[in-house]
Every structure is written in C-alpha cells, then in structure tokens.
Chain A
Amino acid sequence: MRETVQGIYDYIAENLYLSRPDVEVKGRQLSTALLISLLTGLRQGKQLIIGEPGLGKTTSAEYVCALLYRFPLGIIWGSEVSGHPEQTEEKIIGRPDLGRLNLGEEVVVWSHFTLLPVKIVDEINRLPETKQSMILDGVDRGNWGYLNDSIINDEYCLFATANYQDKGTNTIIAPLIDRFDVMVESKHPGANLAYLIGMRGPDGSTLRDERLEQEFLQVLNERIPYNVKMERVERLCDEFGEALARKAGVPTLSRSGRAAIRSDMDGIPFDLDANAFLRMILAELSFCHRYGQKRSHEGCQEGCHFTGYLCGAVRNCISNRFPITVRNFSQALAWFLGDEKVDLEHLLAVLPYTLAHRLQWKDEATAQREKESRADPLAIYMAKQAVKEMHRRYMEQGPLVKNALAVACRILEGEALEPIVGDHPIYREILLDLGKEAS
C-alpha cells in the first residue's frame, strides 16, 4: 500500500501539480505542499492552504482527494463550498426537502459537501466567522446536524484554501485556526515549471469520468438512508479506481485500504528522542515561570529568566490539538517513508507546518524576523526558525532531558531519587508533575 501512496504522490507531482521540491527528508526530495496534502488526506486531517490566487491551492487539494478517495473531479467540484459572505447553512450543510415539507414531512437533503468524505472549502477566509465555525465544528467530529436530523461521517478530511489578507477577506480567528492541523503554502513553481504548465495546460482529464460522475450524482441525490447511500458511493469509487488504473496507470486505495494504512500509522511508535523533543517543545510553548502557564492576555515579566525561550516570544499557549496533530502527521510521514519509528527527522519535517498557524508572535519577535531573507511566508518562516532554535537546544540538552525524564519516571514509581534540574522549562514542568514545586 505504501507503493500505491508513493505512486499517487509521484503521479500528481509529475502530471498534475508541478512544484519545486522544497524539503529533504531521509534523503528524499519532496514538495511540502503536496506531501502534507497527501498526509492530510490519509490521516483524516484538516489542512489550510494559503497562497497567491491561481497557484494551485484548490486544484492540488482536488487532485489529492480524487486520487486518494477515488472520486471523479466533477463530483469533487460539485461538493466544494466556496467562500463568500452570502454563503448559507442550507448551501453548506443541508436543506429541507421542500416537496416533502409540503406534505408535512421534515426531511433533510444533505449537501454533497456533508455527504462526501473529501471536503474542500475554497477561500475559507471569505466566509463570515460563524460559517467558518460551523464547518470546522462539523469537521471536528464528522458530525453534521440540520433541523432534527444528523449524519456522522466515518471517514473525512478537510482542505481549506485562503488567500492572503485583502479587503474582501475576514480573519480566521485563533480558536478556529487552531482546529486546522497544518498550514502550507502553495508556492509559485518557478518560471520554468510555470512555462511548462502554460504550454501543457492543466491535465486533469484523467481524473474526469462523465458517465461515472452521472452515476455518482444519481446515488448522492437519491432519497435513501445515509449508510446505504455511502455503500453505493463506495462501489462507484471502486469502479472509478479501476478506471484510473486503466486510464492513468495509477493504482489507488479502497476505503478498507485507507483504514488499514491509518491503523498501521497508529502503530508507529516515537523513539525516545522524538518523544523528549516534543515534550521540550510543548514546555517552551506553554510554560510561564511567573503565571504558571502561557495565557494570551498575560504578558511576560520583564527580566524573566526564561526570556530566551519561545515562551518569551509568543503570546498564546499551545493547544492540546497540537501534539495530536504532530503525532498524526509524523507517524504518517514515517509510514510514507517506510520507517519503523518516528524520529527527530520526521518531527523536524512536519513541525513548522503544524506550528505556523498556531503561534501568535509578539510584535517584537515579528519585527525581528519580517525583513529577513526567506523563501516562505512569514508565519511558516518564523515557525521554521523556531523549530530550528528548539532543535539546537535539544541537541545541546537532549541527553540531560531524557535522563531527567527517566529519573522522574523512577521517582513516580517510588524510588528515592532527586529530580534532575536544569535550565529549560521542561525541568520545571517535570518538577511540577512530581509535586516538587508549587504550581
């Protein structure tokens, strides 16, 4: 199955979404936008794709969804929610069956966006915040409700695109943006690849199948129970998968195949370095020596001993969604590369994209960085720099931190040992967990 997923990656990279590789993991050159999209699709994640208009934000998501979930492009296009201020709940989630309503029956007609496991929201930041919230609430658990009815998606992923801020955009408020697992930029591919794209035009025709699209529509619009409908949809997906293999020579995954992959990913353990490094990161992004933890409305005390750590540069406290995302995506990357454990390299590759949208930098931290030469948007660039900085600290202190954690384990198991102390927030956090220091 790994070869299948790698085949999908290669097919998209070579035929559909041309982009420069911008990251090297375990000796393999990869395009982060495409890689992260693929992992989002496999991991049932939520991805925010930012970028200039026309640089493939939506189309890259469409290609990934079509190939990973075996839906023809026509069906995906029809299920997309486009962000504009007049968008309504009825268009996004579902509406009453007006015919049946006239007969006195309250029956919901679910939107294709709600029904399908692949969900794409184009320009999410053009939606009012209430509608953004509605979508993200639904995607949080796959649970969609309208009137007195509800459906639960067993399998789903979300891709939302956002242009950079302009007059027509709303902000994505912090509690909403935190629900996205990752944020990537769909970059300009460079003059030469752009020339090729121009000469060749978009080649998504292999992902179209008008006959099957009609059949999909028929099933989706049928008034039958959700479960029955999705079983029929799945049969059509399998049929489209076979067509893809015939036409494009690219094998794809069935629903059970995707479930098996997710199960394999869940079983990939973190090695002790990745484990300790993630704890160090969490400590730096949640710790406050003065006030117990980071809080967005509380600033740092002047002259704080921990000023040099990231807790002194960001305003907010990192959420509990962050470690979940990191686990999911680093396991997914390790699986994709065929590794048995999540190690530092996997973490380093995914961390910037899991952090970029979650960190609220203080003005002075932003001012320091914004004029620096870079190849990424500021948020991702600053996240990359932060990860580099934390990694440097881990390389210096890693053995000590691991020892401190090992000693802490023994102390909690009743051994009479003294906790290890050191100059990093993680040591304070360990002491707090050992009940050695008042919180």
Chain B
Amino acid sequence: MRNPFSDFRILPYQKREIPLERIVRAKEDVMDKIVGGYLRLVEDEVKDLVWLVEHSRVVKAYSAAVKGIRDLQYDVDDIEEFCAELDSSSRIPYMISGPAGIYVSALVNHAQEDRIVLRLREYQRTFHFLGYRLPEGKVLILQGDVGDFIGAGLSGGRLVVEGSAGNWCGAGMMKGEILVTEHAGQSTGEWMRGGEIHVDGRIRSVGKTLFGGKIYQRGKVLAPQDLSGEI
C-alpha cells in the first residue's frame, strides 16, 4: 500500500507520551541521581565496608553528601522514596547506616520544603544520624522508631521523633529542639552546646559531658543538674 502519510516525512516527530510517563521518567531520573550520589559517598567514605563514627569522618561524609546533591532538583517525595530504596531495593547493594543517615540528612537540610515528614515505621532497617545538622527554619518529623545519633549537631531546626530514639540522641547539638514522643537511649545530649531535648518517655541515660542546652524527661529538667535541682 502507498504510504498516505509520506508528505509528513520531513516533519520531526515526538513519540507518544502520556503526562504520567513524563512525570515518572523525571522522577526516575532524579532518583537515579540521588542513588548515584549515595553510592559515590559510600565508595569514597567507607573503606572495607567499615565506617567508624568519628567526628571528623562524620563532618567529611556530610560535606561530601552536600557536594553530591548540590545541583539536584528534588522534593520530599524523592527523599521518602530514597529511604524506601535504602530499606529494600536491590539498586543499593550495601546500606551502611551511618553514611546513609548523613546522606538523608543532607537531602532534608537542602530540600525546598521547610516541613518534612518521613514515615519510617514501614521500614525494616533502622536509620541513624537523621536530623544531623538540621538548620533553623526546618521541621523534620520522623514517624516511627529511629536509631542512634538522631539530631546530632542539630543547628536550630525542630526535630520530632514520633517513637523512640536510640543512643546519642542530640549529640553535639548546637541549638534548636528535639522532641521524642517515647523513649531515648544512652548518652542523650552528649556534648550538646545548646537547644533543648524533650523526651516524653524514659531517658536511659544523659550524656556525661554537656556544654549547654537543656534535657527534659516527661516535662522535668534532667540537665543541667543545677537547674533540675531548682525545680
């Protein structure tokens, strides 16, 4: 049969695409970049699949994470999806808890949204270091139990844990507020310099060295001691 459309051969064409496909493709593109950034971080920062929590390594990992996501356009849905990828996807061959949490924190801190909710209850894995260096003006709500070093180095933001936090919650925080609706683990508020930690449940132990800030358990001040004495 003669091609009845041959007049239009000269016309450049666009493939059929429904808007949803375009959106999905854009999302996948963003997710590929986020995952790629994380894998580079792990390769650069984690040697022999061992990562020790040292102040200098945490700072370096965070700087590397920020550098990796600097030019990315993403939103809170992408962060949540990345958490899901960390939890169960085969795209991420190894999930090293520390760098993963630092990377998620970098994503949260540089997201366009000021209020971010992460639904962590559905995940099998425990996330550490979430809320690291959360800046002023940001509110991060973590729904579900979380791991260690939550809100470490908090820098003025408000971190809400709707569940329990692990050890070293608020370690080295500068300012801002952490609210834990259930319990907190050992060394809560270790090396904190400012801000407040409110735990509605039980605090297993308060950090031995506090440079400032306040820690409340069920509304009562636990630290500093002199203030608790007054109350």
Chain A residues with CB under 8 Å of chain B are 270, 272, 275-276, 402-403, 405-410, 412-413, 417-421, 430, 433
- Nearest chain A CB to B19's CB is how many angstroms away? 13
Determine which residue in B5, B6, B10, B16 has the highest number of CB atoms from chain A within 10 A of its CB, and name it: B5
| CB-contact partner of A421 in B12, B13, B16, under 8 A | B16
Query: Complex formed: what's the CA distance from A408 to B5 in Å?
Result: 7
CB-based contact A403/B3 at 8 Å: no
- Nearest chain B CB to A343's CB is how many angstroms away? 14
Chain A positions within 8 Å of B11 at CB level: 272, 402-403, 405-406
Complex A-B: 6 CB contacts under 8 Å: A275-B8, A402-B11, A405-B8, A407-B13, A412-B5, A417-B16
CB-based contact A409/B16 at 8 Å: no
Query: Complex formed: what's the CA distance from A417 to B5 in Å?
Result: 15
Query: Complex formed: what's the CA distance from A356 to B167 in Å?
Result: 85
CB-based contact B15/A412 at 8 Å: no
Q: Which of chain B's residues has its CB closest to A270's CB?
A: B7
If A412-B3, A413-B3, A433-B4 touch, whether A406 touches B9 (CB-CB below 8 Å) is yes
CB-based contact A409/B3 at 8 Å: yes
**B124 CB within 8 Å of chain A:** no
Task: Determine chain B's interface SS by DSSP, over half rule.
Answer: loop
CB-based contact A272/B8 at 8 Å: yes
Chain A positions within 8 Å of B15 at CB level: 407, 417-418
CB-based contact A403/B7 at 8 Å: no
Query: Complex formed: what's the CA distance from A276 to B9 in Å?
Result: 13
If A272-B8, A275-B7 touch, whether A410 touches B16 (CB-CB below 8 Å) is no
Chain B positions within 8 Å of A275 at CB level: 7-8
Chain B positions within 8 Å of A402 at CB level: 8, 11
Chain B positions within 8 Å of A430 at CB level: 5
Q: Which of chain A's residues has its CB closest to B9's CB?
A: A409
**B90 CB within 8 Å of chain A:** no
CB-based contact B5/A405 at 8 Å: yes
Query: Complex formed: what's the CA distance from A418 to B9 in Å?
Result: 16
- Nearest chain A CB to B22's CB is how many angstroms away? 15
**B14 CB within 8 Å of chain A:** yes
Chain B positions within 8 Å of A413 at CB level: 3, 9
Within 8 A of A (CB), among B1-43: 1, 3-16
Task: Determine chain A's interface SS by DSSP, over half rule.
Answer: helix
Interface contacts beyond A275-B7, A405-B11: sample of 8 additional A-B pairs, CB < 8 Å, sorted by A: A275-B8, A403-B11, A406-B5, A406-B8, A406-B9, A418-B15, A419-B16, A433-B5
- Nearest chain A CB to B196's CB is how many angstroms away? 59
- Nearest chain A CB to B56's CB is how many angstroms away? 55
Q: Which of chain B's residues has its CB closest to A433's CB?
A: B4
| CB-contact partner of B7 in A272, A407, A419, A420, under 8 A | A272
Query: Complex formed: what's the CA distance from A275 to B5 in Å?
Result: 10
- Nearest chain B CB to A422's CB is how many angstroms away? 10
CB-based contact A406/B16 at 8 Å: no
CB-based contact A407/B6 at 8 Å: no
Query: Complex formed: what's the CA distance from A276 to B7 in Å?
Result: 10
Query: Complex formed: what's the CA distance from A276 to B10 in Å?
Result: 14
Chain A positions within 8 Å of B3 at CB level: 409, 412-413
Query: Complex formed: what's the CA distance from A272 to B7 in Å?
Result: 8
Q: Which of chain B's residues has its CB closest to A411's CB?
A: B5
Query: Complex formed: what's the CA distance from A403 to B12 in Å?
Result: 8
Q: Which of chain B's residues has its CB closest to A415's CB?
A: B13
Chain B positions within 8 Å of A409 at CB level: 3, 5-9
Chain A positions within 8 Å of B8 at CB level: 272, 275-276, 402, 405-406, 408-409
If A408-B5, A409-B5, A409-B6 touch, whether A420 touches B12 (CB-CB below 8 Å) is no
- Nearest chain B CB to A425's CB is how many angstroms away? 15
Chain B positions within 8 Å of A272 at CB level: 7-8, 10-11
Query: Complex formed: what's the CA distance from A238 to B109 in Å?
Result: 91
Q: Which 5 A-B pairs have the closest CB atoms?
A: A409-B5, A406-B13, A406-B11, A405-B8, A406-B8
Query: Complex formed: what's the CA distance from A209 to B13 in Å?
Result: 61
- Nearest chain A CB to B25's CB is how many angstroms away? 15
- Nearest chain B CB to A397's CB is how many angstroms away? 14
- Nearest chain B CB to A432's CB is how many angstroms away? 11
Query: Complex formed: what's the CA distance from A272 to B8 in Å?
Result: 7
| CB-contact partner of B16 in A270, A405, A412, A418, under 8 A | A418
Chain A positions within 8 Å of B9 at CB level: 406, 409-410, 413
- Nearest chain B CB to A345's CB is how many angstroms away? 19
Query: Complex formed: what's the CA distance from A248 to B54 in Å?
Result: 106
Interface string of B94-111 (1 = CB under 8 A from A): 000000000000000000
- Nearest chain A CB to B9's CB is how many angstroms away? 5
- Nearest chain A CB to B103's CB is how many angstroms away? 38
- Nearest chain B CB to A404's CB is how many angstroms away? 9
CB-based contact B16/A407 at 8 Å: yes
Q: Which of chain A's residues has its CB closest to B11's CB?
A: A406
Q: Which of chain A's residues has its CB closest to B2's CB?
A: A412
- Nearest chain B CB to A134's CB is how many angstroms away? 36
CB-based contact A410/B4 at 8 Å: no
Query: Complex formed: what's the CA distance from A430 to B4 in Å?
Result: 9
Chain A positions within 8 Å of B1 at CB level: 412
- Nearest chain A CB to B45's CB is how many angstroms away? 44
- Nearest chain A CB to B16's CB is how many angstroms away? 5
Query: Complex formed: what's the CA distance from A433 to B6 in Å?
Result: 13
Chain B positions within 8 Å of A433 at CB level: 4-5
CB-based contact B5/A420 at 8 Å: no
Q: Which of chain B's residues has its CB closest to A430's CB?
A: B5
Q: Which of chain A's residues has its CB closest to B6's CB?
A: A409
Q: Which of chain A's residues has its CB closest to B7's CB?
A: A275
Query: Complex formed: what's the CA distance from A371 to B4 in Å?
Result: 41
- Nearest chain A CB to B133's CB is how many angstroms away? 48
Q: Which of chain A's residues has its CB closest to B12's CB?
A: A406
Query: Complex formed: what's the CA distance from A403 to B17 in Å?
Result: 12
Query: Complex formed: what's the CA distance from A407 to B15 in Å?
Result: 7
- Nearest chain A CB to B23's CB is how many angstroms away? 18
- Nearest chain B CB to A298's CB is how many angstroms away? 25
